[in-house]
Amino acid sequence: MRIAVTGGAGYVGTELVKQLAVNTDLEEIIVYDNLSRGNYNLFLDYPLNISQKVTFVNGDILDSRKLEKIFDGIDIVYHLAANVTTPYANTDPHLYEQVNHWGTADVGYSAEKANVKRLVYLSSVSVYGASVEMVNESTIPDPKTYYGISKYRGEKHLEPLMDKMEVLIVRCGNVYGYSHSMRFDAVINRFVFEANFFNRISIQGDGKQTRAFIHIDTASRVLSDLAVTKIPSGVYNMVEANYMILNLLDALKEIKPEMEFLFVDQHLTLRTMKVDPEVKLRAFVPFPDRDTLQGQLRVFLKHFSF
């Protein structure tokens, strides 16, 4: 079995490729990435027996001709490449539209022409917009940011392909946790970094906003299992828990009682999004057991060098 991963050098992509590489049933993994985030950690410290099955191609998802060549003979495509800028998901609409919307259309078109058997698209729970009520896969999307709109438009380009190949649209929560390719703009990652090095955390708004989260280890394991699991085409959420920002502060304060926190624009009430953790994916692939939030943060902090 041969697999291609667009955005494979990113945060989720790095961990997914590592998970896929140890699967003896997979012959080759092609990482297709334009390295726009300037992150090269995917290329470091791979055991020789694993690195021999991983191939890197420097390319852009807007280059449909190159995509068609790369997808030729590929069985499964994981489409992770996207423009993601947290927390500024409402800036530069043109870039979101080009990459997340039309780039996804190019990936779908190229996969169709290459007769790919399965396409896994990493979308986002941001397509649901904002809701104080718990949402699930049956909730009608109502994106509120340029990022969420672009991801949802990408989904709409892939839905018609479900009659021609297996298409899994996976709406992912906010990813957090240690990785060589970790993103420090993600809220929990940023909080842990600031708590460790500055002993002070800055919070946007009043801190009462809630978000749906998933640990990087869980996300990468669940996604890798989709390569070898029979699962019908459709839309699936991928989240583990919902945390209020103030809950994150409380957990860190238990670990580091001397830590200070600073509210920025405390008068603002930012949007809330809660996603039911009992997602449909759990019926097909196992979600690993996770420690308490405080336990996870303790382990996270130990990864820093000083």
- CATH number of domain containing 162: 3.40.50.720
Q: Per-residue confidence at 91, pLDDT binned at 50, 70, 90? A: low
| 183 part of a folded domain | no
What pLDDT, on the 0 to 100 scale, is given for residue 270? 86
What pLDDT, on the 0 to 100 scale, is given for residue 93? 82
| 89 part of a folded domain | yes
Q: Per-residue confidence at 266, pLDDT binned at 50, 70, 90? A: confident
| Alpha carbons 136 and 277: distance in angstroms, whole number | 8
Token pair 């809630």: residue: 210
What is the β-pairing status of strands 166-172 and 234-238?
Answer: parallel
DSSP label at residue 167: E
Enumerate the β-bridge partners of residue 188. Answer: none
| 164 part of a folded domain | yes
| Alpha carbons 284 and 25: distance in angstroms, whole number | 19
Q: Does residue 56 have a pLDDT over 80?
A: yes
Q: Does residue 154 have a pLDDT over 80?
A: yes
> What is the domain range of residue 44?
2-176+213-240
The two structure tokens encoding residue 94: 């043109």
| Alpha carbons 168 and 154: distance in angstroms, whole number | 13
Give the mean model confidence (pLDDT) for residues 6-21: 95
Q: Per-residue confidence at 197, pLDDT binned at 50, 70, 90? A: very high
| 159 part of a folded domain | yes
DSSP label at residue 52: T
What pLDDT, on the 0 to 100 scale, is given for residue 268? 83
Q: Is the dihedral of CA 261, 265, 266, 271 positive or negative?
A: negative
Give Dmax (Cα) for the chain: 58
Q: Give the number of other Cβ atoms within 10 Å of residue 20's Cβ.
A: 25
| 73 part of a folded domain | yes
What is the β-pairing status of strands 54-58 and 28-33?
Answer: parallel
Q: Per-residue confidence at 227, pLDDT binned at 50, 70, 90? A: very high
Give the mean model confidence (pLDDT) for residues 184-207: 94
Q: Does residue 6 have a pLDDT over 80?
A: yes
Query: What angle in degrees, to the nearest 10, is found between the helix axes of 216-225 and 11-21?
Result: 50
| 277 part of a folded domain | no
Q: Does residue 86 have a pLDDT over 70?
A: no
Q: Look at 77 and 180; give whichever has higher pLDDT.
A: 77
Within 13 Å and on the Cβ side, how many CA atoms surround 205?
14
Q: Is the dihedral of CA 273, 277, 281, 285 positive or negative?
A: positive
| 281 part of a folded domain | no
Q: Does residue 48 have a pLDDT over 70?
A: no
User: What is the share, in percent, of the chain residues with pLDDT greater than 70?
Assistant: 96
What pLDDT, on the 0 to 100 scale, is given for residue 179? 93
| 206 part of a folded domain | no
- Total domains, the chain: 1
Q: Does residue 88 have a pLDDT over 80?
A: no
CA angle, 219 then 71 then 214, to 5°: 10
Q: Does residue 60 have a pLDDT over 60?
A: yes
- Helix H or strand E segment including 228: none
Q: Is the dihedral of CA 47, 52, 53, 56 positive or negative?
A: positive
What pLDDT, on the 0 to 100 scale, is given for residue 124? 97
Whether residue 143 contacts residue 171, with contact meaning beta carbons closer than 8 Å, is answered with no
